[in-house]
Structure 1
Amino acid sequence: MTQMVYGFWISRSLQIMAELGIADIIGDEPKTAEELAKASGTHAPALRRMLRLLSGLGVLIKDEQTQAFGLTELGEMLRKDSPGSVYGSLRAHGHLLSWSAWGDLVSSLKTGQPSVEKFMGDSFFGYLSSHPEDAAIFNGSMAAYQSLNAPAVVGAYDFSQVRSVVDVGGGTGTLLGHILQSHPHLKGALFELPHVKAEATARLNGMGLGNRCQVLEGDFFAKIPAGHDVYILSQILHDWDDERSLKILTNMREAMGPQSKLLIVETVLPGDNVQHFGNLYDMAMLVLVGGRERTGPEYSALVEKAGLRVHRVLPTYMPPSVVEVVPA
């Protein structure tokens, strides 16, 4: 219970460590608190106290002889470009997704509406569209998260008989790029809003996929491009309530052919009395965007209203599962 009560003190310390770039300052060469304070513009005695906290948690390790702090294997994940980096998530949750929104959680519990809108003065996605610096932080966190999810999705689903795949609302192309790199026979398309096109095109070209992947502009609330074997909605439906999710799924059904498949990549909640990461994410969807995570039966009921049916649910080693949906 004590860990749960004071847990946010730890998460805030990690968020500030990312904000100050401490892990990248340390890099491959351990440094003293004084060196880190000078490089980060902080007060050395105060910073040393936070470093002591994080060393006790296994994020840092101190050499008692040199008094220098180095990164443990766990701490390496705080570096911007390390495999499995959580830097982007810490930056986003320390600024956009955390304090003000969660601090007014009671508002969401009383109204059912996202509390984040009270201090942003707009919907979450509306705010991002008019604040490019914050949007860059958020997009970076999502790209990092998808870089962890992508191998799990590829490992769970057999794309060998698929010819073309379109990632609907696929951000800057992290998941789609990984799928295409893992399956050279595939052709793909990324379907996103216009303001994402330049960054997505650059990312996919940088992955050497420009000749096998199109970046298409559009809005999944209006129309989804037809003619593909497999459609992907990854971390999309949990952003929206049932009414808006049904609109997306209805447009999806209109785009799908008789043999097309839809892969919904989302955390599938196991139900009550189970400790599960998805339960935390479900609360985050409430306070941020008014969306929700769903159970298996809830997904089945939702897609059936759009003329679809759940064929199977494939777990991955990450929290999200692959829910394979076909025309009813």
Structure 2
Amino acid sequence: METDERADTQPVDSAGAKAAILQIVGNVLVARSLTIAAELGLADLVQAEPKSVMQLAQATGTHADSLYRLLRMLASYGVFAEDESGLVHSTPMASLMESDQPDSLRDLLRLGWQDIAWDTYRELPNTIRTGEPAFDEAFGATFFDYLAAHPEANASFDAAMEIFAGPENAVIAAAYDFGQFARIIDVGGGTGGLIEAILSAHPGVHG
């Protein structure tokens, strides 16, 4: 591990370091709040027009005051905005959680997939001690064995992978001469986004 040789000569800004660590810890709460907002579909509800917190609480079956606190925290990060009359507005960041956006992040952020991730993270101390996969410890099975036995989790995983890999598929299809092959098999191709992009870019190829 490399160390900074200046560490012994530079004054320590303990207050700044403490604030930075506390911010990192606090980001865990922000991430979880994003997950809740995505699961509730809050971005969809304010997409067309701003809504009051009471309207949002009624639409989502939630506690209005608690929902307001969550929205205010997210607004401090630019996710949603509140006007002087108390109405909640969409923002560019909130729009990324709208269900009908082509580049929507909602499926990645929703509770189904995020709960799997959080349960896995809880077992990270065991991974550090033993080197064994945290997922296996959390769920008693390997990752893909678990997905095979849980269709809903598998669907959440596929949706999350589409968010990550989707923008890359067309780039990959254009970057390599797949047209030299008569037939291509995408092993472990998930929902088939990559093979679809390849076949679209190279009409003479079968897959």
Tell me which interval the TM-score lies in, with the shorter structure as reference length: 0.7 to 0.9
Contact 1:59 1:75 in 2 (8 A): yes
Aligned residues: 185
Structure 2, unaligned runs of 5 or more: 1-19
Contact 2:95 2:101 in 1 (8 A): yes
**1:150 aligns to what?**
169
Task: Pick from 5, 14, 21 the counterpart of residue 41 of structure 2.
Answer: 21
CA distance in 1, matches of 2:169, 2:23: 31
2:26 match: secondary structure:
helix
- Give 1:83 deviation, angstroms: 2.3
1:166 aligns with 2:185: yes
CA distance in 2, matches of 1:152, 1:113: 35
1:96 match: secondary structure:
helix
What is the aligned-residue RMSD (CA, Å)? 2.0
CA distance in 2, matches of 1:86, 1:62: 22
TM-score, normalising length: structure 1: 0.52
1:79 aligns with 2:98: yes
1:140 aligns with 2:154: no
The superposition leaves residues 13-53 of structure 1 with CA deviations (integer Å, 9 ceiling, x where unpaired) of: 00111111211222222211111111111101110111111
The superposition leaves residues 158-185 of structure 1 with CA deviations (integer Å, 9 ceiling, x where unpaired) of: 437534433221111112222333x143
Contact 2:186 2:195 in 1 (8 A): yes
1:43 aligns with 2:81: no
Contact 2:34 2:109 in 1 (8 A): yes
Q: How does 1:205-284 map to 2 (within 5 A)?
A: none
CA distance in 2, matches of 1:57, 1:82: 21
Amino acid at match of 1:14: L
CA distance in 1, matches of 2:43, 2:82: 14
CA distance in 2, matches of 1:56, 1:68: 15
The change in CA–CA distance for 1:55 and 1:166 in structure 2 (over 3 A counts) is same
2:145 match: secondary structure:
helix
2:180 match: secondary structure:
coil
Structure 1, unaligned runs of 5 or more: 190-328
CA distance in 2, matches of 1:132, 1:160: 32
The change in CA–CA distance for 1:108 and 1:125 in structure 2 (over 3 A counts) is same
**Structure with more of its chain in helix, by fraction:** 2
CA distance in 2, matches of 1:159, 1:29: 47
Please tell me whether Structure 1 or Structure 2 has the larger radius of gyration of its CA atoms: 2
2:160 match: secondary structure:
helix
- Give 1:125 deviation, angstroms: 1.3
Task: Pick from 68, 77, 80 the counterpart of residue 57 of structure 1.
Answer: 77
Amino acid at match of 1:107: N
CA distance in 1, matches of 2:198, 2:48: 32
Task: Pick from 55, 79, 87 the counterpart of residue 68 of structure 1.
Answer: 87
- Give 1:77 deviation, angstroms: 0.8
The change in CA–CA distance for 1:69 and 1:53 in structure 2 (over 3 A counts) is same
1:113 aligns with 2:125: no
The change in CA–CA distance for 1:127 and 1:161 in structure 2 (over 3 A counts) is closer
**2:203 aligns to what?**
185
CA distance in 2, matches of 1:133, 1:93: 9
CA distance in 2, matches of 1:94, 1:13: 11
Amino acid at match of 1:121: G
CA distance in 1, matches of 2:204, 2:92: 36
CA distance in 2, matches of 1:46, 1:134: 28
Among the aligned pairs, what percent are the same residue?
A: 34
CA distance in 1, matches of 2:168, 2:32: 24
The superposition leaves residues 260-294 of structure 1 with CA deviations (integer Å, 9 ceiling, x where unpaired) of: xxxxxxxxxxxxxxxxxxxxxxxxxxxxxxxxxxx
Task: Pick from 123, 131, 134 the counterpart of residue 104 of structure 1.
Answer: 123
**1:90 aligns to what?**
109
